[in-house]
Amino acid sequence: DQQVKQNSPSLSVQEGRISILNCDYTNSMFDYFLWYKKYPAEGPTFLISISSIKDKNEDGRFTVFLNKSAKHLSLHIVPSQPGDSAVYFCAASYTFPSGGYQKVTFGTGTKLQVIP
């Protein structure tokens, strides 16, 4: 059962416009959410995160929104640049009740293409 879902495998956006990547989750225990960016032939790199106690986190051109009631988060990129073209993975984490270890579950990824 896929606990973290990215229903759009791909997205194309014109340079300068907004890119919105969506992610849905099913596990109410998740308490931290992350976005990773992956270029071809490279490993994923951390982009931005948000705690479940917040509904918005912003870092430059990147903003993540969290709607806990809908179990939905989104990543906004404004303005989009050609260098943003990559695969974006949504990830969700929760703390094991015993031991405090983090368990991270990744989504399937969305391939973003920013067209010059």
What is the rounded distance in angstroms from the CA atom of residue 10 to the CA atom of residue 82? 15
- Residue 110 backbone phi and psi in degrees, to 5: -125, 125
Alpha-carbon span 116 to 90, nearest angstrom: 25
In angstroms, the first-to-last Cα distance of the chain is 38
Give the x/- contact pattern for another protein in 19-58, rule: CB under 8 A.
Answer: -------------x-x-x----xxxxxx--x---------
Per-residue contact flags (x/-) with another protein for residues 82 to 101, judged by CB under 8 A? -------x---x-x---xxx
CB of 18 to another protein, least distance (A): 24
Among 18, 78, 104, 115, binds another protein (CB under 8 A): 104
Query: Does 102 interact with another protein (rule: CB under 8 A)?
Result: yes
Residue 106 within binding range of another protein, rule CB under 8 A: yes
Q: How far is the CB of 69 from another protein (least distance, A)?
A: 22
Strands 10-14 and 110-115: parallel
CB of 17 to another protein, least distance (A): 26
* Burial (Cβ within 10 Å: 0-12, 13-18, ≥19) of residue 16: exposed
**Residue 114 burial (C-beta neighbours within 10 Å; 0-12, 13-18, 19+):** buried
Q: Which residues bind another protein (CB under 8 A)?
A: 4, 6, 9, 32, 34, 36, 41-46, 49, 89, 93, 95, 99-102, 104, 106-109
